[in-house]
Structure 1
Amino acid sequence: MDIDKGKSLNTLLQNISGTTITGPSDVLIQNLILDSRRVSAGSLFVALRGTQTDGHQFIDTAVNSGASAILCEELPANINPEVTYITVKDSAEAMGLIASEFYGNPSKRLTLVGVTGTNGKTSVATFLFQLFRGLGYRCGLLSTVQNQVEDEVIPSTHTTPDSIALNQLLALMLEKGCSHVFMEVSSHAVAQHRITGLQFAGGIFTNITHDHLDFHKTFDNYIKAKKGFFDQLPKSAFALVNVDDRRGSVMVQNTKAKIETYSLQTMASFKGKIISDTLTGMHMEINMHEVWFRVIGRFNAYNLLSVFGAAVLLGEDPEIVLTVLSALKSPPGRFEQFHSADNIVGIVDYAHTPDALENVLQTITHLRHGNEKVITVVGCGGNRDAEKRPKMAEIACKYSNRVILTSDNPRYEDPTDILDQMRKGVPPLDYKKTTVIEDRKEAIFRAYEEASPEDIILIAGKGHENYQEIKGVKHHFDDKEVLGQAFLEYPKN
């Protein structure tokens, strides 16, 4: 990754059509910058039109800070003759191509696999990362939970970073000797061109349900964004889709990639069957091989099938793949189990969509073997799709003996308003078994106080997150820590 001497602007623009250059083009670019406050001499400042701010407002600031070039969609009123202005139709799309070129097109020298869908992205990407490390490869991971280069953890702020940060991470992974990288591809990333310019060896589709309508506005737009990932795959790549999801075939309608399928219900390239499923593990048959896995639940059966399929499509031996997969554990905050001294089971899961919550609760229902109560603690995030709030409460009531509605990440919304919207989904017959406790710690403690030995407490919505976001401030809060405190402070004798 030798970019210390910079890259010429002409080189960076060679794959971009429809550009208008104002000023000298023989400029040496030392860095790519999105934040005008970080601009220095030799910077190419990219003016993006974001959901919150428009980078075009900060062009003059970037110029005054020494920017050598500006990438924009509209020229500013004041033109500095010593600065080069590149006008394009879409700054985000151009930035993806420029960032790839600036960092030496790292994705073309890596085996890069992307995972998209509403639920399961983190688990599938993490399982692939763990699997290929177990197979002896040096690997990188780009996920909601964390970005990782072998054992080095790099904190994650977005499911998919912006194209500059993304190419920088891929270049670092290449420099560290990685051969394979597995990454989550969010619908935002596709719509905002964060993956433009990357070359994927394969793409995986998990499933799709209502989510992120605050951003995409309609479910159709959300589907199109997910499908856009597969539209971009090259002929050399594979497109592995869950055909049990009725939109699986839609995802690959226009892909150039080789289409492969996985299923628990019908004929597919990679066919699975659950033989038994308990709190201690899952026994499955995959392509005529019987395997016992440490992870549990039908949703994980799909995850494991997709990981197995991707590994085989990348040329790995099926039997060796299944052997390594059988030893893997779930990622943090994904159906993560904890047991109290008095035999109460606590499960922390990231389920924050109606479909994900239903999958987790159906799994818990299936795993029950007696009269254990299921106590569900759940909330909904603020400044996100409000349509799912009553649905989340309705689903929690359907599968639980007790439901405690609580705060999640209210962000800039009033948590009381969010809880009022959730409460509208509680069926009248379930009013008595439903409690609203805004304070999340108090809600978790209450769940434990009401539990008896062998009962199951599900704490849903935040999973791996170790904060609560309130009015723009992230306050430390970890469901697992709080559950552990409850187990210790209120032991049942």
Structure 2
Amino acid sequence: MKLLKDILFGVGLSAVSGDTNIMVNQIHFDSRKVEMDDVFVAVRGTITDGHQYIQKAVDAGAKAVVCEEFPELLVNGVTYLRVSDSNTALAIIAANFFDNPSKNLKLIGVTGTNGKTTVTTLLYQLFKNAGYKVGLLSTIKVLVDEKEYKATHTTPDVLTINQHLANMNSNGVEFCFMEVSSHGIHQKRSEGLQFAGAIFTNLSHDHLDYHKTFAEYRDTKKKLFDDLPKSAFALVNIDDKNGKVMLQNTKAKKYSYALKSYADFRAQILEKQFNGQLLKVEDNELWSKLIGDFNAYNILAIYATADILGLEKMEILRLISELETVDGRFQYFISKEKITAIVDYAHTPDALKNVLITINALRTGNENVITVVGCGGDRDKSKRPVMGHIASEMSNQAIFTSDNPRTESPTTIIEEMEAGVEPQNVRKVLSIENRKQAIKTACKLALANDIILVAGKGHETYQETNGKRVDFDDFKEVKEALASLNK
């Protein structure tokens, strides 16, 4: 148990009713999890308002309540604490409760529209292979040294984050690489954490259903850099015009990386193949198994981060050359019929375009590119016609299908993608609502040396419809569909 006044250190309190010199058990923002002597933090969410459940939490045994507005009924023996922002208060309380674990390791945050998972995962691999104990907080998984935990969000809630970081402290972890999403920043899930550095990959069209404007989306990302201490570093992709914006108000030491512009860390692509690419990083050549310009940026971000954190340059290059592709990120295989199948998480217009640019740069011109793609439901609708346009314009054949329709009609989502198709490309588009059938159709259409891209879901092994998740793995589906061609 913890002393309430100790875990309130740094929280701006506007009013207190009751005693703060009491022992409390656990912290919760979900009233259903509250038990005797716990603290309940009433958070205003996007769907529900925790203030509606204060009495329920008290009835369950809450000894203290943190809220933005006191309820009409104040129960004797319960301490009520009023704050201006419950999300911020929760973040600080969570960090205090777990003894501020981020201060006891080097926590590196990675933000941007695309590349977060690849950069964090490969940094984890690199530092692990260099002999360090390392942690990872990513979309795909959470790793505490070598022990894996299930990931549920790009950026978990602050209690979960601090719990994982405290676990890392107990296991002697020295470095932790963490994806930091715009949702996570906006909802204060990264507040109360002490970052040793932050990396900006790029910024493009995404999450405008949540942030409403691109400027708001950009400025939310920027807050990660604004809040960095002087002791930290800020590393940005300066080829992206938003890179300079990220650095405007940061107190951290500034670094940049680029393929095209003058920067602190530079690289050049010398050769591209399907099994990798040859890069010139600073004055040294490097062969990487990761393919495409977008991965050249990811590799350079990894190299720069490792250099800033003190690893020896030639050792970094050796370690990068050994790195394997991240699940669902340009993950490919070649079938017996010489058909290349690629599965990629590309779920934004920019990511889809980058993958197709990479594919088209590697092909000889005699192969057909068949793209299977959908758009998620209950998400930014404005990107649907754009993705429809890109897939139909840059492929020989595009098949529009379901992604994770969630509560939306798959038919409506596909129709909104079709709206972006230019008249001259209409003949190249098929719409097949069932994703399994769409993948099977792509495999049946493919001839020897053709390339199939299945985009949008990547590492995900489920499909979500009306609140239900069913098993669905793009990589497994396309592999089985191509194997069945022999039968």
Q: TM-score, normalised by structure 2?
A: 0.99
Letter in 1 for 2:348: T
Equivalent position to 2:183, from 184, 188, 192: 188
Residues 398-477 of structure 1: pairs in structure 2 closer than 5 A: 398-477=393-472
1:278 is matched with: 273
SS of alignment partner, residue 475 of structure 1: strand
Residues 238-253 of structure 1: pairs in structure 2 closer than 5 A: 238-253=233-248
Q: Is contact 2:289–2:324 with CA below 8 Å preserved after alignment?
A: yes
SS of alignment partner, residue 432 of structure 1: helix
Matched, 1:300 2:309: no
Across the aligned residues of Structure 1 and Structure 2, the Cα RMSD in angstroms comes to 0.8
- Give the drift of 1:398: 1.6
2:164 is matched with: 169
2:21 is matched with: 26
2:386 is matched with: 391
1:330 is matched with: 325
1:309 is matched with: 304
2:474 is matched with: 479
Question: CA–CA distance in 2 between the matches of 1:18 and 1:45?
Answer: 15
- Give the drift of 1:399: 1.1
Question: CA–CA distance in 1 between the matches of 2:299 and 2:357?
Answer: 18
SS of alignment partner, residue 445 of structure 1: helix
Question: CA–CA distance in 2 between the matches of 1:328 and 1:313?
Answer: 19
Equivalent position to 2:140, from 145, 155, 161: 145
Question: CA–CA distance in 2 between the matches of 1:209 and 1:352?
Answer: 11
SS of alignment partner, residue 249 of structure 1: helix
Structure 2 unaligned residues grouped into runs of 5+: none
SS of alignment partner, residue 13 of structure 2: coil
Question: CA–CA distance in 2 between the matches of 1:281 and 1:482?
Answer: 24
2:92 is matched with: 97
Q: Is contact 2:13–2:81 with CA below 8 Å preserved after alignment?
A: no
SS of alignment partner, residue 144 of structure 1: coil
SS of alignment partner, residue 382 of structure 2: helix
- Give the drift of 1:491: 2.3
Equivalent position to 1:365, from 356, 360, 368: 360
Question: CA–CA distance in 2 between the matches of 1:148 and 1:346?
Answer: 29
2:249 is matched with: 254
Matched, 1:221 2:216: yes
Matched, 1:343 2:332: no
- Give the drift of 1:245: 0.2
Letter in 2 for 1:365: N
Count of matched residue pairs: 487
SS of alignment partner, residue 485 of structure 1: helix
- Give the drift of 1:29: 1.7
- Give the drift of 1:440: 0.1
Question: CA–CA distance in 2 between the matches of 1:478 and 1:14?
Answer: 46
Matched, 1:40 2:38: no
SS of alignment partner, residue 486 of structure 2: coil
Question: CA–CA distance in 1 between the matches of 2:19 and 2:102?
Answer: 30
- Give the drift of 1:488: 1.7
Q: TM-score, normalised by structure 1?
A: 0.98
- Give the drift of 1:151: 2.2
Question: CA–CA distance in 2 between the matches of 1:17 and 1:149?
Answer: 32
Decide which moves more: 144-153 or 455-464.
Answer: 144-153
2:200 is matched with: 205
- Give the drift of 1:150: 2.1
1:178 is matched with: 173
2:349 is matched with: 354
Q: Is contact 2:36–2:62 with CA below 8 Å preserved after alignment?
A: yes
